[in-house]
């Protein structure tokens, strides 16, 4: 996951959101902008990262045994019901 912080400081950007999203896409990563000051996408970033970790873990270990994806589904459902996104969020 690639996260751009301080999305509220648009005029002070060193990297444009499109450049960051392109970098993330080239490296098969999720891109999301966050802002801890007003809590923009902070919870969503943690939920997304946790979901990616769970998915990778389950994929890695699914050959040895079949796993239940209910934990991942619960995390994804929580993310879908969280507050609206104010800055760029590219998956």
- Give me the pLDDT at residue 83, please: 46
pTM for the predicted model, two decimal places? 0.58
- Give me the pLDDT at residue 13, please: 81
Range with the largest mean pLDDT of 22-31, 56-65, 75-84: 22-31
Measured CA to CA in angstroms, residue 58 lies from 19, 51, 55, 62, 83 at distances of: 31, 10, 5, 6, 28
Please return the burial class of 55, using the count of CB atoms within 10 Å of its CB with bins 0-12, 13-18 and 19+.
Answer: middle
9-56: per-residue pLDDT in tens?
A: 788 888 888 898 999 999 998 888 888 888 888 999 999 999 989 998
Q: Name the fold adopted by 2-90.
A: Rossmann fold (3.40.50)
């Amino acid at each position: 996951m690639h996260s751009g912080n301080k999305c509220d400081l648009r005029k002070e950007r060193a990297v444009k959101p499109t450049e960051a999203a392109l970098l993330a896409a080239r490296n098969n990563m999720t891109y999301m902008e966050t802002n801890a000051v007003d809590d923009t996408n902070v919870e969503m970033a943690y939920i997304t990262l946790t979901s990616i970790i769970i998915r990778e873990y389950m994929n890695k270990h699914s050959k040895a045994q079949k796993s239940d994806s209910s934990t991942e589904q619960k995390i994804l459902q929580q993310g879908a019901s969280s507050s609206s996104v104010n800055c760029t969020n590219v998956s």
